[in-house]
Amino acid sequence: MKRPALIALLGLPGALLLPALASAAAGLPAITVENAPGGGQTWSLSLQVLALMTAITFLPAILLMMTSFTRIVIVLAILRQALGAGQAPPNQVIVGLSLFLTLFVMAPVFDRINTEALQPYMAGTIEMSAALDSAGGPLKQFMLSQTRESDIATFVRIAGGEGYAGPEDVPFSVLVPSFITSELKSAFMIGFLIFIPFVIIDLVVASILMSMGMMMLSPVLISLPFKLMLFVLVDGWSLVIGTLAASFNP
């Protein structure tokens, strides 16, 4: 994703809040203090500004749970567990790699949001509500392409609904938990496939040690170098990361 598009995208929440904050400062003070009849003071707060400022605190969780981050970070964590290398790579490296790989995977979606929502809003051609609707379109399309119909049907049934005419009619209140559930399933399925070769190596090493009578020697200690060697020889990091990125293709 180009740097101007990324900078513009990161400024989307602030740009959408500027008109509301400006109006609050000009004609709608956020906090007003009035004298009560009993001698006390009455405080009033602009609900619009309060709701917008509260929504900002949820933006990190929303961006992480509505993008490819969940699947990526879980698969990388399972890979570390399968290698048995303890805390190598550390959590900071896994989270950082997951974040930047998420930006790579979501780049086409972010570019569409920048083109269809942010730039027209900053140019003054559409209102904030229309910009939010336009920004939700590409994100919803991405989430729908990664969500299983069975998961959507499950949450529709829980909500007591009767289904929708088409995928575009599914609201975010149903789509988001369905997307998260589907991502968890996909992450653990990929993690299972990654775990199998390393489990086989552990079994082979444990069988050899048992046959040699070395029952007091830990098989994990002996199998770790072989697992690391195998992972390096097959170019494991490129293979896993490339497979993860390709798994998000609709």
Specify whether the CB–CB gap between 192 and 75 falls below 8 A.
no
Please name which of 108, 126, 113, 96 lies closest in space to residue 11, comparing C-alpha atoms: 113
The predicted pLDDT at position 20 comes to 45
C-beta atoms surrounding 232 within 10 Å: 10
User: Taking residues 84-105, what's their average pLDDT?
Assistant: 85
The predicted pLDDT at position 214 comes to 72
User: Taking residues 61-72, what's their average pLDDT?
Assistant: 84
The predicted pLDDT at position 171 comes to 81
* Tally: H helices and E strands in the chain: 12, 2
What confidence category does residue 21 fall into, taking pLDDT thresholds of 50, 70 and 90? very low
User: Taking residues 141-145, what's their average pLDDT?
Assistant: 86
The predicted pLDDT at position 227 comes to 84
The predicted pLDDT at position 238 comes to 87
What confidence category does residue 60 fall into, taking pLDDT thresholds of 50, 70 and 90? confident
The predicted pLDDT at position 234 comes to 83
Q: 45 - beta bridge partners?
A: 31
The predicted pLDDT at position 114 comes to 83
C-beta atoms surrounding 229 within 10 Å: 11
| Segment 186-235, tens digit of pLDDT | 999 998 988 888 888 888 888 887 777 777 777 777 778 888 888 888 88
Lowest mean pLDDT among 21-30, 37-46, 179-188, 194-203: 21-30
Higher pLDDT residue, 65 or 72? 72
The predicted pLDDT at position 49 comes to 64
- Residue-wise DSSP of 154-190: HHHHHHT----SSGGG--HHHHHHHHHHHHHHHHHHH
What are the distances in angstroms from CA 231 to CA 81, 165, 218, 220?
A: 13, 47, 21, 16
Percent of the chain at pLDDT > 90 equals 4
Rounded to the nearest integer, the mean pLDDT of the chain is 76
The predicted pLDDT at position 188 comes to 92
